[in-house]
A and B are shown apart, each in its own frame.
Chain A
Amino acid sequence: MIRVVMVLVMLLSACTSRVEDEAEGGTGSITFVESRDISADGQVTKLVERWNERAGPREQVTFVQMPGSTDDHRAQLTARAQDLERVRNSPDCYDVIGLDNVWTAEFAAAGHVVPLDPEEFGVDRLLPQAVAAARSPGDGRLWAVPWRSDAGLLYYRKDLLAEADVSPPTTWAELRRQAVEIAAPRGLHGYVGQFKRYEGLIVNMAEVIWAHGGDLERPDDARTKAGVQAVADGIDQGWIPRAALDYEENKSLDEFRAGRALFARSWPYAGPVLEAEESRVAGKWGRVALPGPSALGGWNLAVSRCSANQKTAREFIKFVTNDDNQRRTFQRAGFAPTSLALYEEPGLVPIELRESVLEARIRPLSAYYDELTSVMQENLHHALDNPRAVDKSLDDLAAGLAKAVEGRG
């Protein structure tokens, strides 16, 4: 089905009018829209300022920050793009937009963004999975350039594992054993992750399922079920706290930071948080790649179809994603790069992050990802809360996905 949409979009772009040609080669001032810049000293803002210092007065970039919640961010981008369908030269056009990598297919299928030439951006130098997430699932056309990546890490209590004389787990079974044998006698939670009903649940469950050899796109596969069952049983047996069914990033990290958990799944940004003054585990933690592949998080940059100055837009994307700027935003804002070369630079990317990002996999690609994720969230959350219903919930999910994949909820 997605393929059909792509074909139609391609037909559209094939019969471009003169106006569109002009837009494609157009230069002028543009608007750049990205997530709220919460990095130290506003590194994204600084990046835009650097462009503006170099670019001529005609090609200035205005940086517009989106609402902090990703739902609101997406709603704002979508509504604006829908308002400007078939509109040219509107000052309201968001020329360059930052898209969560799971939204890219949807924006492409809706015709909100224009296809890009992979050669022009040299995407071969970027993480292949991140590039895959920026291509349409059917025809492989490129719709965005991966800018920032993100991958999960397993945070562990270095002090407690040393006492027990074991190394951090590399398989889910080992993790479980350590959680039961080391955490329980000390009155600690074994493992905390993000199991609330939101996108984080999909990330966490995809990772556990991959670790068990299954795949989110085949919910009725025995290995997929085994992955879900492992977490559901963990909650049932108590080494994963039942409260984790309501945890997102902050709450799960709070538990670990307060010294109440042996293991926590989190993102790279958690490091500095665990060393901050109020942390009770400062100096007592370590981190390794997850016991299995991580889900690849990250943000792509795309050019809106409404943009009249698409050449400037593309130049700006090249500027933002070049190695120098990626190195700088990694060092100063902690955005994990998408450039493969930077992962080979000695001393730049810590080994566990390198391993996690390079091995990371992408979540299902779909123009109807929104539908997919809501069906997956509903069934997975139910399964985790009802260990005896895992089988049925996942069979239901298989049926639900078949509908959702066509956008029919």
Chain B
Amino acid sequence: MGTQPLHAVHRTVLVVDVSAFSGRPRVPQEEIRRGLYAALETAFVDNGLDWSAAHHEDRGDGVLVLVPPDVPKSRVVDGVPHALLGQLRRYNATRTEESRIRLRMAITAGEVQYDPEGVVGDDVTLAFRLLDSRPLREALDRSTALFALIVSDRIHADVVRPDPALDLEAFRRVSVDVKEVHGHAWLHVPNGGTPAIGRRPTRHRRKRRRPPVAPVLLAVALLFVGTTNAARATPPAVPPCPPPIQLNVLVSAEKEEVVRSLALELEDDSGRHNPLGCKEFNALVFTGGSARAAAEALGRGWQPGDLTAVGAEPHVWLPDSRAEVLAIGDDLRERPDVTLHVRAGVAVSPLVLGASEELAAQIAPDGEFEWRHVAKPAAVDLSSGVGLLAAAALAQAELGPDLDSPRAAWVLHDITRRTSTDAPCVGEVAVIGSENAVAATDGCRVLYPRDGALVLDHPFVEVERPQRHNPRRQRIVHRLLEHLRAPGAQAVFKRAGFRDLAWNVIAPPDSGVRPDRPLDLPLQPRPGSVREAWEAASRPRTIGVATDSSPDAHLFAEQVSRLAGPGDRVITLPLTEDVVEAGVRAGAHVVVLASATPVPILAKGVSRPVRVVAVGFTEGACAPSTALYAAATAMDGPCHVVGGLNDPGAAEGREAAVHDVARAAWGG
């Protein structure tokens, strides 16, 4: 049996069912099962297909087989039934009536998902519905053929019709009306014991059927090749295909796989639906390293250096969130060469928390949590769109829109120092991520913020270069947008764990994903400032503290030392005239002077700029005439007066001073 990926993957789906199997005695049932498997396996191998690479599941009366996408579908539709027929004949020839096999068979293709219960996917369901459909049952009942085959409309359009090796007339269109399937499918019954399909045409028939060529299109195609003399050239029987338009699609890592498969699907379709049979575009789908690098390259107008560092110039950008577009908005406003048009979204994913079962039970017994209970978030990767939003969610929960408040640096630093690089969803470590990614992560239970979740809105961004306008490409860009928003693609997004545009989701069992629409929350702070503030708050910093021997100063020094995260250092400096320079030499980024007694007049001038925060504990300690005040203001730093130990307002004052130290160390 093949490997079983967790994400949605494309498969050709083949299901077979033994006619009237359940009415037979036990012994022939066993024999039939063995015979059926042997026949299937041989039919596969005879077509050069690896039976062990195809996933197969026993379904009682029959078998479900999933064939990997690298196997041409035509081989499954054409070769396998043909070979199977031979195998069934051979098998039946040596069996009594009650052990003989006749089969119903259905073939579809699409995205499937392997979950612990088995295989799921709309096209698996469709295959079973078709297998169960009345036209197929009747067709087998009314004939003596050993099998009857039904294929989905899509297989017919994509595989049967375009393949000159398959006999179109051997398939009959039938209406199907079983449970949720209402539509058309195509039925094939091998004719008079000879399979109508599977016959290789003779060489001259292999030639492509002439596509309908309208005179107007012919002229257009010739014009495109670049001549005004087309009329004088002898028009060829089928005009040459114009070169396909190149379409470069920059996509976030989260969506890369889905978007690539959808873009290639549209690319292939463009050839099938083109009246001349010509492929209309070539898509290059790439991530450009990190989302941030890609966004910044766009912000610069994609300079020559970005070609080697990031990749080809994109025509479409599919970031995780509009916030990423906003983050480069200021850079782009002044650029005449690149304009971004944010079109509609293509999928939705709320930003959620992933937690271990224990943690989930503790902080969110009902599936909803509050941010203040997230003690150990997994480290946030700011280079991705999801990471940017995760940082924004944490910041917004504590600070609202205002990242400039006096508390901001202290709050953000406190969050960043609590982040952990240990495995997420183990013990206390919780991960903030997109609903689809968290649900697909081992051991993670999806929890929703009680006050509402920020949303990854996956916008479709058209990259316009006004100086190099290309209307032909623009049409393809718009077609891609339409394709990504159409029901077929929406189903693919859904199977990959995203929500579709109507917020529908396929909730994997026991993942915590809720099928209904969770409360959503608008993003408040400016995305650009979130990134700046978060990065500043995560910088490793050295803080030098100089105190006199007073209990107030010691208490304050202790509070300052508690600010340090794993990457930070707090060092003690002697409170002498050249304390600031001593701090500089020791690598301090901030020097804190805390003294209840007057300090000596400090030496002026330091070898490197450093921030200074001064704290006095007596009234007038920060009067302009004091050395403490002079020391702080010389470096543009604040001087705080905090009441003594017995002052009821002291705690508050100390806190404000500590926030100032944090701002000096981790503020922007």
Contacts and interface: CB of A to CB of B under 8 A. Distances in A.
B49 A386 contact: yes
B378 interface: no
Contacts of A65: 304, 307-308
A75 B226 contact: no
A132 interface: no
A75 B48 contact: no
**Helix, strand, loop or mixed for chain B's interface?**
loop
Interface string A374-409: 000010011101101110110110010011001111
Interface string B40-52: 0000011111100
B248 interface: yes
Interface in A79-125: 79-80, 82-85, 87, 90, 92, 106, 109-111
Contacts of B48: 382-383, 386, 388-390, 392-393
A402 B207 contact: yes
A76 interface: yes
Nearest to B48: A389
Contacts of A378: 70, 72
A368 B271 CA distance: 14
A233 interface: no
Contact of A388 (B45, B208, B247): B45
Contacts of B72: 378, 382, 396
A79 B312 contact: yes
Contacts of B278: 407-408
A79 B279 contact: no
Interface stretch (A9-17, A159-167, A348-356): A9-17
A64 interface: yes
Contacts of A258: none
B227 interface: yes
A4 interface: yes
B213 to A, nearest CB: 13
Interface in B46-61: 46-50
Given A9-B226, A83-B470, A382 B248 contact: no
A399 B226 contact: no
Interface residues of A, number: 61
A368 B200 CA distance: 26
Contact of A76 (B238, B241, B312): B312
B307 A76 contact: yes
Interface stretch (A66-74, A282-290, A323-331, A339-347): A66-74
Contacts of A402: 206-208
Interface string B466-477: 011110110000
Nearest to A395: B200
A408 B232 CA distance: 25
Given A65-B308, A82-B470, A382-B48, A406 B284 contact: no
B268 A15 contact: no
Contacts of A75: 246, 248, 282, 284, 312
A8 interface: yes
Contacts of A111: 225-226
A109 B227 CA distance: 12
Contacts of B247: 79
A78 interface: yes
Given A64-B307, A83-B468, A385 B284 contact: no
Interface of A: 1-2, 4-5, 7-9, 11-12, 15, 36, 64-69, 71-73, 75-76, 78-80, 82-85, 87, 90, 92, 106, 109-111, 197, 367-368, 370-371, 378, 381-383, 385-386, 388-390, 392-393, 395-396, 399, 402-403, 406-409
27 contacts: A1-B240, A5-B225, A8-B222, A8-B225, A12-B225, A15-B228, A65-B307, A67-B308, A67-B310, A75-B284, A79-B248, A80-B468, A83-B465, A83-B468, A85-B226, A92-B467, A109-B243, A111-B225, A378-B70, A382-B72, A388-B45, A392-B47, A396-B74, A406-B208, A406-B241, A407-B278, A407-B279
Given A79-B312, A109-B240, 11 more contacts: A11-B232, A12-B227, A68-B308, A72-B312, A73-B312, A75-B282, A75-B284, A92-B468, A392-B79, A396-B75, A408-B278
